[in-house]
Structure 1
Amino acid sequence: MYKTIISAVAFSLLAGGCSLQNVEPWERDILARDKMQLDPYPVDRYLDDHIYYSKESSTGGAGVGGGGCGCN
C-alpha cells in the first residue's frame, strides 16, 4: 500500500517538474502542428467510431447514429 502511494507521489513530482520548462517562441510552431494535438485526425476518428458503432448496433458519446445495418 505504501509503495503505491510513494510511487504515485514520485510520479506526480516528476510529471509536475516537466511542466516547469519554458517553451521558447521559436518552438511553439512545432507544438502547434496537427500531429501534436490530442486528437490529430478528428475526421478519421469520427469515421472509425461510426463504423464501430454501426457494427455493434450501439451508440457511444461521439454523437453518431446507431444501427446494425450501417445505413445511417
Structure 2
Amino acid sequence: MTLSRYLILLPLILLAACSSVEPWQKGHLAKPKMAFDPDPLSARLKQHIYASKEAASGGEGVAAGGCGCN
C-alpha cells in the first residue's frame, strides 16, 4: 500500500474506535468469554508462580525490575 492509502485508512480506523456501545449490546460484553482473564483463580496462580521464580514481588505489570532500579 502506498502512503496515501495509509493516511486515509488511519483516520477511518481511529473513528471506528470512537463508536459507542448501546445498552442492549452491553450484555454481550459482559459474557465470561469476553473477559481478559476468563479464569481469575488460574491467573492468580500463574502470577504467584511467576513471582516465586523471579524471586521478587511487584515486578508484574510495572516498569521497574526486581533490583529496585527504574
TM-score, L = length of structure 1: 0.49
Q: Which has the higher contact order (CA 8 A, sep 6+)?
A: 1
